[in-house]
Structure 1
Amino acid sequence: MIGKLLSTGFSLATLPARLTFRSVRALAMTPAEVNRLLSEMRDASDQAVQEIQAMLASVDDEMGRKTAHLSNADKRLAAQLALQAAEQHLSMAAINVLRALWLTRHSTPALPPGRPDPHP
């Protein structure tokens, strides 16, 4: 579930950039291509809305069943514990992303120095 949430969050976070790219690409399109692009964008938007609604309904259903027996005080305590756990997991995820980026940057071999052009 957390993976799905992060995936959806990432997808939503990158949506403006993807829409900008598609908008720029649309400037050089024929009317038929623009209509197809707009249809694809509507479909992608509808799909994102459906995924978010399904995820929220799933969380609501799961938590409703799991916490039905808890008092309000117990729910508040569980919420605090869940937030602490989420903070720790997100902190480690951020560190792991930074590690992966560092490893990626430092794992590619350096380009050999350029040779001077013998025919300037």
Structure 2
Amino acid sequence: MIGKLISTGFSLATLPARLTFRSVRALAMTPAEASRLLADMRQASDQAVQELQGLLANVDADMTHKTAHLSAADKRLAAELALHAAEQHLNMAAINILRAVWLTLHSTPNLPPSELDKRLEQTRND
């Protein structure tokens, strides 16, 4: 579920950029190419809507089941706790991303393979 949420979030976050790129590209297109582009844009938009609807339906079903025994006040308290936890996790994720970018920018261009890469290579060779 978390993976799907992240994937959908990334897909939705990049949707405006993808649509903008396609719109700019449409300026130099023939009418046939432009109509194909519009169809692709419509399809991408419909796909994003379907993914969001599916995600929301899953969350709704999951939370309805998990919180059936809670009162409205308990649900409110749980929501506040969940938002606080999410804020902390997002803050740490943002910091970790900034650290990774800084480390990448300040590292040598020829990084040695990571330990995971070595293990994967050994597994493939066995």
In the alignment, residue 34 of structure 2 is paired with which amino acid? Answer: V
Give ranges in structure 2 of 5+ residues lacking alignment.
Answer: 110-126
Measured in 1, the distance between the counterparts of 2:102 and 2:95 equals 10
Distance verdict in 2 for CA 1:98–1:64, change over 3 Å? same
Where do 1:64-83 residues align within 5 Å? 64-83=64-83
Measured in 2, the distance between the counterparts of 1:98 and 1:44 equals 30
Instruction: Give the greater-gyration-radius structure (CA).
Output: 1
Q: Which runs of 4+ in 1 moved over 6 A?
A: none
CA-to-partner distance for each residue in 1:25-46, whole Å, 9 max, x for gaps? 1112122211111111111000
Give ranges in structure 1 of 5+ residues lacking alignment.
Answer: 110-120
Q: Which residue of 1 aligns with 2:114?
A: none
Give the number of aligned pairs.
Answer: 110
Q: Which residue of 1 aligns with 2:34?
A: 34
Deviation at 1:108, TM superposition (A): 4.8
% identity of equivalent residues: 81
CA-to-partner distance for each residue in 1:26-70, whole Å, 9 max, x for gaps? 112122211111111111000000000000111000000000011
When normalised by structure 2's length, the TM-score is 0.78
When normalised by structure 1's length, the TM-score is 0.81
Measured in 2, the distance between the counterparts of 1:54 and 1:81 equals 25
Deviation at 1:89, TM superposition (A): 0.7
Q: Which residue of 2 aligns with 1:9?
A: 9
